[in-house]
Structure 1
Amino acid sequence: MTATVAARSAFELDGLPQLAPYQDQPRQLPAGTVGKDAYLRLGFARRGRRTELIDLHRRAPLLVQQALYFDEGMPDLPCVFMISTSGGILQGDRYAVEVTLEPGAQAHVTTQAATKIQQMDANYATMTQDFTLHEGSYLEFLPDPTIPYRNSRYAARTRLRVAADATALHAEIVLAGRKHHGGGELFAYDLYSASIHGSRLDGPELFAENLVVQPASWPMASPAVMGPFHVLANVVLMTPPDVATRVAAQAPVGYAGDGDGRTACGVSALPNDAGLIVKVLGMETEPVRARVRDIWALVRREVTGHEVPANFSWR
């Protein structure tokens, strides 16, 4: 994907009907201008036993410095942190991210901190993400949680193009807002829209999911929506059918914990033998992250035979 194509990709969501009420321009800078049209391209290739980051193109405010090799469970696995040089995602921002894994490559991609979608009084922000995994490759995409602030408007589109024998683990954790800010800020954002689409390389679409949340139009505490919970994790696993079967059989489904530590987890098969989708609900962030970590550890073990290292202790 060239920078020109990526720039078009960053603006592809502007026609979404849910964004129609927010077409006014910010007073500071027009939408998508310099400094508000971030682009990041990452390319990974196998070099002997190790996978290396061989292609890196970045445009502020998105930044990647280099691949690090600190995972004790998989010391040849490059770990890459996506960094934002701004104070979060701002009104008028248009972001585009592309990640490609060549045959046999393996990579772990995350963020340096939570993604904060800042309060808005004009326009909106968008993010497009394109992941391409060639034969036998393996990707862990595990960013820190997303926090939509009051009156924020945000739309994202993720596309997974995954070879039949490759594995892509894509996880998102979305908070209800700044729950512990002041007197609490729960579901005070205007719009959170996120879609994810999966296909084989150069093949037809296998599945699609579209989440559109407009808290002012629908009570989020309804039993069929979030109920009593404030944190949602959406985990998509595209993987061969035999791996999906083993993961589903061991997934930590059901309720766990109590009080603010309680979580609920469910797993479903994706259409067309594409893999699995896992939903986790919780009251607070850390218990949900722990359940996602359990799923991550299970997937890594089943796909690579390696373990996820224990959490680093600051004590």
Structure 2
Amino acid sequence: MTATVSRADRLARAAEPGHVSPAVASGPAHAAGSLPVGSPGKVGVLDLDYRAIGGGRTVLADRYQKSPLQVMRPLYIDPVLPGVPVTYLMSTGGGVVGGDRLDIDVRLSDRAHALITTQAATRVHRMDAGYATQNVTLTLGAGAVCEWVPDPLIPFAGSRFQQRLGATVPEDAVLVVSDVLTAGRVAHGERWAVDALVSAVEVTRPDGVPLVVDTTRIVGGGGSDDEMVTGGADAIGTLFVLAPGPATDLAAVMRAAGDGCGAVRSGGVRCGVSTLPEGSGAWARVLGESPEAVEAAVRAVWSAAREHVLGAPAPDLRKS
């Protein structure tokens, strides 16, 4: 956390998530027994500062965390890039509930490299009142590399949730953003039965030039309109890779990985790849009936892109 921002101001910022989609905010504001926004454990803050210290090594130089968000000591488990810290985001609660306001701010100094993931999938519970939000801000220095690869988001029936990721990426930096959404507890008959789910990714250059503006919006408890968004799939995976170099070459590598991975060959998974504006990189969208298959396909595409850009495949994140 920068010295110019007090903790009180940081908490106040986290409690006010900015613009919230009317579909997400349209539910009842209060219910008996529910904790209002600002109650203990409802406003989660996580600030992470990574710095390059030479020799290809990056350290988590500073952090500020407030429950329910927290991280433990980063692990150096990448055998090809041993100086890269892998940080696991965790929650002290059992998932996201109504009234939660989660705010994550990650900063990387020039030439720093960090990989950030979650300990497990994020479960968004039914909300009888209120809604929940998560804002993630990624700020990269010159030549920095940030890999944001959380486990899937699982929205339960009756949930109202908005997540937004905003990133600032210089031309010589590398950003990887993974976003996997599932249809909820399908075995319980909750296929896309959310009240409202909005997931947005926005990436710009430091001068404000937009490179990515992508929003997935599912509203109304699994109605027919949602088929236009989900394509009839039970999971949606998206991977953005912004990196220097020819975007067409990167897209070709990602397309080959998507077409060749086992999840696609076994059927039920569709993968499409395209370049990003200004030749800034490439992105992939994966749809499938099995969340596990979609997650495996997204990982395969990430690993191929990582090897192409950084010379190292995706490491084993050791979650099983």
Decide: shared fold, TM above 0.5. yes
In structure 2, the residue matched to 1:41 is 47
Q: CA 1:311 to 1:262, structure 2 compared with 1: closer, same or farther past 3 Å?
A: farther
Contact 2:69 2:92 in 1 (8 A): yes
Contact 1:162 1:201 in 2 (8 A): yes
In structure 2, the residue matched to 1:191 is 196
What secondary structure sits across from 2:88 in the alignment?
strand
TM-fit CA distance, 1:218 = 4.1
In structure 1, the residue matched to 2:26 is 21
Which residues of structure 1 form unaligned runs of 5+?
none
Aligned counterpart in structure 1 of residue 13 of structure 2, from 3, 8, 20? 8
Aligned counterpart in structure 1 of residue 129 of structure 2, from 104, 122, 126? 122
Hey, what's the Cα distance between the residues in 2 that align with 1:235 and 1:213? 19
Q: Which amino acid aligns with 2:69?
A: L
What secondary structure sits across from 2:43 in the alignment?
coil
Aligned counterpart in structure 2 of residue 246 of structure 1, from 226, 231, 249? 249
Q: Which amino acid aligns with 1:190?
A: D
Hey, what's the Cα distance between the residues in 2 that align with 1:101 and 1:62? 19
TM-fit CA distance, 1:220 = 5.6
Aligned counterpart in structure 1 of residue 231 of structure 2, from 227, 232, 235? 227
TM-fit CA distance, 1:144 = 0.6
TM-fit CA distance, 1:10 = 4.6
In structure 2, the residue matched to 1:287 is 293
Hey, what's the Cα distance between the residues in 1 that align with 2:206 and 2:49? 16
TM-fit CA distance, 1:269 = 1.9
Matches of residues 107-256 of structure 1 in structure 2 within 5 Å?
107-181=114-188, 184-216=189-221, 218-219=223-224, 222=227, 224-242=228-246, 244-251=247-254, 252-254=257-259, 256=264
What secondary structure sits across from 1:42 in the alignment?
strand
Q: CA 1:274 to 1:7, structure 2 compared with 1: closer, same or farther past 3 Å?
A: farther
Q: CA 1:58 to 1:311, structure 2 compared with 1: closer, same or farther past 3 Å?
A: closer
Hey, what's the Cα distance between the residues in 2 that align with 1:24 and 1:157? 21
Q: Which amino acid aligns with 1:203?
A: G
What secondary structure sits across from 2:171 in the alignment?
coil
Please list the CA deviations of residues 64-88 of structure 1 after superposition, one character each: whole Å capped at 9, or x if unmatched. Answer: 1211111222211100000000010
Q: Which amino acid aligns with 1:137?
A: A
Contact 1:172 1:234 in 2 (8 A): yes
Q: CA 1:10 to 1:212, structure 2 compared with 1: closer, same or farther past 3 Å?
A: farther
TM-fit CA distance, 1:253 = 4.4
Number of residues paired by the alignment?
308
Contact 1:10 1:127 in 2 (8 A): no
TM-fit CA distance, 1:266 = 0.5
Matches of residues 72-91 of structure 1 in structure 2 within 5 Å?
72-91=79-98
Residue 53 in 1 paired to residue 60 in 2? yes
- Structure 1 residue runs of 4 or more that deviate by more than 6 Å after TM superposition: 311-314
Hey, what's the Cα distance between the residues in 2 that align with 1:82 and 1:218? 33
| TM superposition score normalised by structure 2 | 0.89
Q: Which amino acid aligns with 1:143?
A: P
CA RMSD of aligned residues (A): 2.2
Contact 2:153 2:181 in 1 (8 A): yes
Hey, what's the Cα distance between the residues in 1 that align with 2:249 and 2:159? 40
Identity %: 33
Hey, what's the Cα distance between the residues in 2 that align with 1:232 and 1:291? 11
Contact 2:184 2:191 in 1 (8 A): yes
Contact 2:73 2:87 in 1 (8 A): yes
